Amino acid sequence: MCRALAYLGQPVPVEYLLYGSDSSLVNQVFHPRLLSMLNLAGFGMVAWDRESLEPDVPWQYHSTKLPVFDQNLRSVSRKIRCNSLLAHIRGVPLNSSAAISEQNLHPFVFPDVSLTMAHNGDLYDFSVMRYALIPHIRDEFLQCLSGNTDSEWLYALLMSRFDDPAALHGTADIAAAVQHMLNILREVRIGHGIEISSSVNLFISNPNCIVAVRFTFDYGCYPLPEQGEVHQGCMDYLSLWFTRGSDYACHGGEWKMVGGRDAADAVIVASEPLSLDTSTWVEVPEYHLLAVEKHGNKIDTKLIALE
């Protein structure tokens, strides 16, 4: 299981999101709570700052180092505040078949595309599915593929659903594109007789919105194979949580989001809560999409059922 985190709201130090709490994203590398899989394959982050040059263009950081030991990341996170952020810690099977490289690190950002995406999960038999997806991916995105993960192909497939990938799309357009992408994947799975459940938890961001997806194909419908290794992302229904308010920081010795419940101007979405106290967190239901969008000084959240 990978770990991911998305933020949208008032400026917040990046250090608060990555390192601050007892169950912060970086701490989840070695101390996961909800699933036992360690995350040893690198870290990636994109972030937007409205006060920076070209505020609609994110700055990016990717490293195959474990973030726990990455002093450059710690130093940068102390100095930078963000209005929007998407960060991801990559998890892979503990065997020699896993490819550890910067090309495989999330979040993915293609040139001249406004949306970035991270994936938590695993498409079973992706090597069989890969070439059936080519007709559904635009040529310019096929040429951008540089790694060997199912996740980067999912990003290319999703971006190909937009007539203008460079535009700053709202959550309604993104949700429609996600549903279209899931329909294509379902058809390809059926066409190849794939009968193992596969997680497609997605985190999709631009400077104005977050779309997070909690979805697994055919969860619990088929028995696991008697032989062969199956990734944990195909065995467990992966979690997704969010919290909303106006100020994420250490309050009274505890890290939490406070204030603004009726008119929130900050939202965190994460694969698991960032604090041991989960009372301020809400779990996204299975087979749902969470849409988070900024409107002036207010941020709206909406749950949408997926087919």
How far apart CA 164 and CA 260 sit, in angstroms, is 34
Residue 306's pLDDT is 95
Sequence-distant (6+) residues with CB within 8 A of 270 are: 3, 4, 5, 6, 25, 240, 241, 242
Strand, coil or helix: 270? strand
How far apart CA 235 and CA 114 sit, in angstroms, is 33
Residue 278's pLDDT is 86
How far apart CA 209 and CA 84 sit, in angstroms, is 8
Sequence-distant (6+) residues with CB within 8 A of 245 are: 257, 258, 259, 260, 261, 264, 266, 280
Positive or negative, the CA dihedral 266, 272, 277, 279 is positive
The answer to whether residues 256 and 171 touch, using CB atoms and an 8 Å cutoff, is: no
How far apart CA 25 and CA 127 sit, in angstroms, is 30
The answer to whether residues 2 and 88 touch, using CB atoms and an 8 Å cutoff, is: yes
Residue (of 195, 206, 210) closest to 240 by Cα position: 210
What is this structure's pTM?
Answer: 0.92
Q: Angle, to 10 degrees, between the axis of helix 171-191 and the axis of helix 150-159?
A: 120
Residue 250: domain span:
3-305
Residue 305's pLDDT is 96
Q: Report the DSSP beta bridge partners of residue 212.
A: 203, 290
CATH number at residue 160: 3.60.20.10
The answer to whether residues 101 and 32 touch, using CB atoms and an 8 Å cutoff, is: no
The answer to whether residues 58 and 288 touch, using CB atoms and an 8 Å cutoff, is: no
**Strand (E) or helix (H) holding 191:** helix 171-191
How far apart CA 154 and CA 9 sit, in angstroms, is 27
**Local structure of residue 93 (DSSP, 8 states):** -
Burial of 166 per CB tally in 10 Å (0-12, 13-18, 19+):
exposed
**What φ, ψ does residue 19 adopt, rounded to 5°?**
-125, -15
How far apart CA 130 and CA 150 sit, in angstroms, is 8
Q: Which two tokens stand for residue 100?
A: 């550890």
Q: Which two tokens stand for residue 299?
A: 């941020």
**What φ, ψ does residue 292 adopt, rounded to 5°?**
-120, 120
How far apart CA 261 and CA 295 sit, in angstroms, is 16
pLDDT tens, N- to C-terminus, the chain (307 residues): 688 999 999 999 999 999 998 889 998 876 655 455 555 678 999 999 988 888 888 999 999 888 888 999 999 999 999 999 999 998 765 555 666 678 889 999 999 999 999 999 889 889 999 999 999 999 999 999 998 899 999 999 999 999 999 999 999 999 999 999 999 999 999 999 988 888 999 999 999 999 999 999 976 555 555 545 555 555 567 899 999 999 999 988 889 898 876 778 999 999 999 988 888 899 999 999 999 999 888 899 999 999 8
- How many residues does the structure list for the chain? 307
How far apart CA 194 and CA 192 sit, in angstroms, is 6
Number of domains the chain contains: 1
Look-up of token digits 């007789």: 193
Residue 238's pLDDT is 87
Q: Which two tokens stand for residue 57?
A: 């263009």
